[in-house]
Amino acid sequence: METPIVVQDVHKSFGKVKALHDISFTVNEGELFGLIGPDGAGKSTLFRILTTLLLADKGQATVNGLDVVKDYKAIRKIVGYMPGRFSLYQDLTVQENLDFFATIFNTTVAANYELIEEIYVQIAPFKDRPAGKLSGGMKQKLALCCALVHKPVVLFLDEPTTGVDPVSRKEFWEMLQRLRKKGIAILVSTPYMDEAMLCDRVALIQNGRLLEIDTPQHIIEQYNKPMWAVHAKRMYPLIQDLRSFPETESCYAFGEYLHLTLKHGEADLDKLQAYLQPKGHEEFSMHPIQAGIEDCFMELMKSEKV
Amino acid sequence: MRQFFVFARKEFYHIFRDKRTLLILFGMPVVQIVLFGFAITNEIKNAEIAVLDQSRDYYSNRLVQQLQAGSYFKIDQELQSHQAIEAAFREGRIKMVVVIPPKFGESFFHLHKAQVQLLADAGDPNTATTLINYARAIIGNYQQELNGPQAMPLTINTTVRMQYNPALKSVFLFVPGVMTLILLLVSAMMTSITIAREKELGTMEILLVSPLPPAMIVTGKVVPYIVLSFINALVILGMGVWLFGMPIKGSIVLLLLECALFVLTSLGLGILISTVTDKQQTAMMASMMGLLMPTVLLSGFIFPVESMPLPLRLLSNIMPAKWFIIILKDIMLKGSGLREVWPQSLVLCGMTLLFVTISIRKFKIRLS
The domain that contains B59 carries what CATH number?
Answer: 3.40.1710.10
Using the Cβ of B365 and the Cβ atoms of chain A, whether some distance falls under 8 Å is answered with yes
In B214-337, where does DSSP find H-type helix? 214-244, 252-276, 280-287, 293-298, 310-316, 320-329
Q: How far is B49 from chain A (nearest CA, A)?
A: 58
Q: Cβ contacts (< 8 Å) between B194 and chain A: which residues?
A: none
Q: How confident is the model at residue A215 (pLDDT cuts 50, 70, 90)?
A: very high
Q: Output the pLDDT for position B149.
A: 66
Tens-level pLDDT at each residue, chain B (368 residues): 888 999 999 999 999 998 888 888 888 888 888 887 776 666 677 888 899 998 888 888 888 898 888 778 888 888 888 888 888 888 888 889 999 988 888 888 888 888 899 999 888 887 888 888 888 888 888 888 887 766 566 777 777 777 877 766 767 777 888 888 888 888 888 889 999 999 998 899 999 999 988 888 888 988 999 998 889 888 888 888 888 888 888 899 999 999 999 999 999 999 999 888 889 899 888 888 888 888 888 888 777 788 888 888 888 888 899 999 999 989 988 888 888 899 999 999 999 999 999 988 888 888 76
Does residue B9 fall inside a structural domain? no
d(CA A299, CA B73): 92
- Residue by residue, DSSP assigns B335-348 as ---HHHHHHHHHHH
Domain borders along chain A are: 5-220, 224-290
Query: Are B128 and B195 in a shared domain?
Result: no
Does residue B160 fall inside a structural domain? no
What are the tens digits of pLDDT across the range A293-306?
Answer: 888 888 888 876 65
What are the tens digits of pLDDT across the range A75-90?
Answer: 999 999 999 888 899 9
pLDDT at position A107 over 60: yes
Q: Cβ contacts (< 8 Å) between A146 and chain B: which residues?
A: 206
List of residues 6+ apart from B29 with CB closer than 8 A: B178, B182, B186, B232, B235, B236
d(CA B260, CA B233): 9
Q: Output the pLDDT for position B31.
A: 86
Which one of B2, B18, B366 has the shortest CB-CB distance to A53?
B366
Query: Are B113 and B225 in a shared domain?
Result: no
3-state secondary structure of B24: helix
Does residue B262 fall inside a structural domain? yes
Does residue B14 fall inside a structural domain? no
Query: Are B184 and B53 in a shared domain?
Result: no
B201 and A87 within 8 Å at the Cβ level: the answer is: yes
Query: Are B66 and B183 in a shared domain?
Result: no
B13 and A81 within 8 Å at the Cβ level: the answer is: no
Q: How far is B213 from chain A (nearest CA, A)?
A: 9
What are the tens digits of pLDDT across the range A147-183?
Answer: 999 999 999 999 999 888 888 899 899 989 999 998 8
3-state secondary structure of A97: helix
Considering the segment(s) A224-290 as one domain, its CATH architecture is: 2-Layer Sandwich (3.30)
Query: Are B27 and B53 in a shared domain?
Result: no
Which one of A54, A92, A106 has the shortest CB-CB distance to B3?
A106
d(CA A226, CA A220): 12
- Domain end: B147, B178, B208, which one? B147
Rounded to the nearest angstrom, the gap between the alpha carbon of residue A124 and the centroid of all alpha carbons in its chain is 27
d(CA A88, CA A105): 15
* Pairs of residues, one from chain A and one from chain B, whose beta carbons lie less than 8 Å apart: 76
For B5, the closest chain A residue by CA position comes to A103
d(CA A291, CA A221): 9
Rounded to the nearest angstrom, the gap between the alpha carbon of residue B296 and the centroid of all alpha carbons in its chain is 9
List of residues 6+ apart from A127 with CB closer than 8 A: A93, A94, A95
Backbone region of residue A159 per phi and psi (left: phi > 0; alpha: psi in -120 to 50; beta: other values): left
Angle at B251 between CA B249 and CA B255, to 5 degrees: 100
Q: Output the pLDDT for position B258.
A: 93
Query: Are B201 and B136 in a shared domain?
Result: no
Q: Write out residues 169-228 of B within 8 Å (CB-CB) of A.
A: 201-203, 205-212
Owning domain of residue B110? 47-147
Amino acid occupying residue A64: N
DSSP symbol at B209: T
- Alpha carbon separation from B94 to B89, B91, B364 (Å, rounded): 6, 7, 61
Q: In what order do the strands lie in the sheet with A154-157?
A: A79-82, A154-157, A185-190, A32-36, A201-206, A209-214
Total domains in the fold of chain B: 2
List of residues 6+ apart from B330 with CB closer than 8 A: B250, B336, B340, B341
List of residues 6+ apart from A261 with CB closer than 8 A: A225, A226, A227, A228, A248, A249, A250, A251
Which one of B210, B212, B368 has the shortest CB-CB distance to A54?
B368
Q: How far is B331 from chain A (nearest CA, A)?
A: 42
- Residue by residue, DSSP assigns B60-114 as HHHHHHHHTTSSSEEEEEE--STHHHHHHHHHS---EEEEE-SSHHHIIIIIS--
Pick among A48, A50, A55, A104 to test the B interface (most B CBs inside 10 A)? A104
Q: Write out residues 113-152 of A within 8 Å (CB-CB) of B.
A: 146
Query: Are B176 and B262 in a shared domain?
Result: yes
Query: Are B288 and B347 in a shared domain?
Result: yes
Q: How far is B212 from chain A (nearest CA, A)?
A: 6
Contact assessment for residue A221 and residue A215, using Cβ atoms and an 8 Å cutoff:
no
d(CA B263, CA B180): 9
CATH code linked to domain A5-220 = 3.40.50.300
Query: Are B236 and B286 in a shared domain?
Result: yes
pLDDT more than 70, % of chain A = 99
Using the Cβ of A70 and the Cβ atoms of chain B, whether some distance falls under 8 Å is answered with no
> What ipTM does this complex have?
0.85
Query: Are B283 and B140 in a shared domain?
Result: no
